[in-house]
Amino acid sequence: MNITSTATRAKAIGLGLVVAMFASLLAAPAPTTSKNMVEVIIRTVEGASLSSTIERMGGTVTGSLNAIDALTADLPASAVATIARTPGVMSVTQNSTVELAHHRDSESSNWVEESSSTTTRPTTLSVLAETVRADRANRYGYTGSGVTVALIDSGVAPVTSLKSRIVNGPDLSFDSQLADLQNLDAYGHGTHMAGIIGAIAPSASILNVKVGAADGSVDVSQVLAAINWVIEHRNDNDMNVRVLNLSFGTNSTQAYTIDPLAYAVETAWRKGIVVIVASGNDSNSSPVRSPATSPLVIAVGAVDTKGTTSTWDDRIAAFSNCGTNRTVDLVAPGRSIASVRVPGSNADQKHPEAREAVNYFRGSGTSQSAAVVSGIAALVVGAHPEYTPDQVKAALRSSATDVPYSTSACKGAGMVSARAIMADSYAIQTPQDFAPATGLGSLEAARGTDHLENDNVVLKGEIDIFGNAFNGSTWSGSTWSGSTWSAGLWNGSTWSGSTWSGSTWSGSTWSGSTWSGSTWSGSTWSDAYWTGSTWSGSTWSASNWTGSTWSGSNWTGLTWDHGKRIR
């Protein structure tokens, strides 16, 4: 499915209407030939044929809905979970007389809630858009047109569904030494986020600012540089960067009022950019991760929607950080989200069980939730370009829908909704007046326990990835105002291009690590390249980098597929 296709969006938007019309034209009630048989609507990848598969399972095809690439069938209830996992199937939806997602009996024991060890229904991009009402907003012309969402992540692969949407910024990752990896997503995380944002805001551009290497490694100093670059270049070539997605966080315990990361995101906020940050994936009892610790920006937690568009079955995901003194602002779908796959990427190779159909990959985490909110924020800004970030935050919180059976700390204002577009009254709020961050704290403390390591050499202390000294008082100053970036330099160090300036790392913690040329000690990527549809010759096990992970837990370490936890 091409998420930028007008025809495809129309199909997704019209699904509910077509299904309702189909049901109303039936001359008799839904079949009741056996309590073991259920009637389902099966959406498929375009061109997929399932008739013989359904017959082998003991079912019968009862009709087709060509306008939405779907068919109707009577199936044994015990076969529903199997057909949902069949290649070519995008989603399986029961008719109005059955409840497969929540009801448990001997025939439907595979469709149960997260607390059990059985299968969880995936959330496709079209279902995701419907869940947060983005499909309705799109139908009325609110698509994020004229808005750019900055995605600071692991890069974006030029897959067909995203290629025309992506604007490449600098590659500030360690991959940038090799032309074959520059800006691209050998890890798989950034492309997954881009697919979600693109599904919610189909006309928004996505600014790809890569910081994560092929194994997801990134240091706080790289993220700081990326945020700074976005601020300084937000209006280049009429990009109009108004939203920044940061599905990243550290377990720093440093007060946000002095934390460099918090200062960076708050600076972006005050420059007119709505900053969306993932809360973290440690547990409901955990504090939000930095820089979500700043109360100024939007901290996002995750909801398990059970793969349905209804709300009464929604629950806060068990991994979602709820916060203590600082709690989440909003929640959004974040469990088993089937977004764009990068064939052959690190995540794809390590977790083939997470592949969904041909072009999609299941991912769970507050990373995915943050991407959903970023897409909705793009819709709001597109509809109301005059809104300040404070007003956008107020609109999102005021229009959120309730999440039943959850605490206020875990759900914040509730589930994000595109209803925020519809009424100016949602945005009425006095400006936020939290104590501002100063950035005068410690870079080492900002890392928390997440440290880059190569050949048993650890990056720690008050130095950046170049071994340059970091001083909060001289680094932050009063504002970032166009003086830190010049011709690819950040504070005098070259961050992009084929080589690193100052390539020999000095200092007691980095002695022996040489970064000149196109290879790193222990991490040779010279055989990795993108052919246009997949990665070839890429052996990620050659890398012995470890370090900061995405939103508090490596995203491949969460629930990927069918209720299994991969660690």
pLDDT on residue 198: 96
Q: What is the mean pLDDT of residues 60-87?
A: 78
Percent of the chain whose pLDDT exceeds 70:
72
Banded pLDDT at 78 (limits 50, 70, 90): confident
The region of weakest confidence among 69-78, 195-204, 376-385 is 69-78
**Choices 3.30.360.10, 3.30.70.80, 3.30.43.10, 3.30.1300.10: CATH for 6-111:** 3.30.70.80
Q: What is the mean pLDDT of residues 387-392?
A: 94
* 153-201 per-position pLDDT tens digit: 999 998 878 888 899 999 999 888 887 888 999 999 999 999 999 999 9
* 429-458 per-position pLDDT tens digit: 778 999 999 999 999 999 999 888 877 788
Does the structure show a pLDDT above 90 at 51? no
CATH class of 120-567: alpha beta
pLDDT on residue 506: 35
* 256-301 per-position pLDDT tens digit: 999 999 999 999 999 999 999 999 999 999 999 999 999 999 999 9
Instruction: Please give the structure tokens belonging to residue 496.
Output: 């992009």
pTM over 0.85: no
Does the structure show a pLDDT above 90 at 403? yes
pLDDT on residue 554: 41
More confident residue, 117 or 463: 463
CB atoms within 10 A of CB 440: 15
Banded pLDDT at 462 (limits 50, 70, 90): very high
Whole-angstrom Cα distance, residue 567 to residue 556? 8
pLDDT on residue 437: 95
Whole-angstrom Cα distance, residue 318 to residue 282? 9
Please state, rounded to an integer, the average pLDDT across all residues of the chain.
76
Does the structure show a pLDDT above 80 at 349? yes
The region of weakest confidence among 22-31, 206-215, 262-271, 309-318 is 22-31
Whole-angstrom Cα distance, residue 436 to residue 327? 17
pLDDT on residue 505: 37
Banded pLDDT at 480 (limits 50, 70, 90): low
Whole-angstrom Cα distance, residue 19 to residue 469? 62
pLDDT on residue 233: 93
Percent of the chain whose pLDDT exceeds 90:
46
Peptide bond into 291 cis (omega under 30): yes
Banded pLDDT at 236 (limits 50, 70, 90): very high
What residue segments make up the domains of the chain, in order of their start? Answer: 6-111, 120-567
3-state helix, strand, coil in the chain (%, to 5): 30, 20, 50
Specify the residue for token string 């460099």: 260
First CA to last CA across the chain, in angstroms?
30
More confident residue, 130 or 313: 130
Instruction: Please give the structure tokens belonging to residue 494.
Output: 């070259």
pLDDT on residue 188: 93
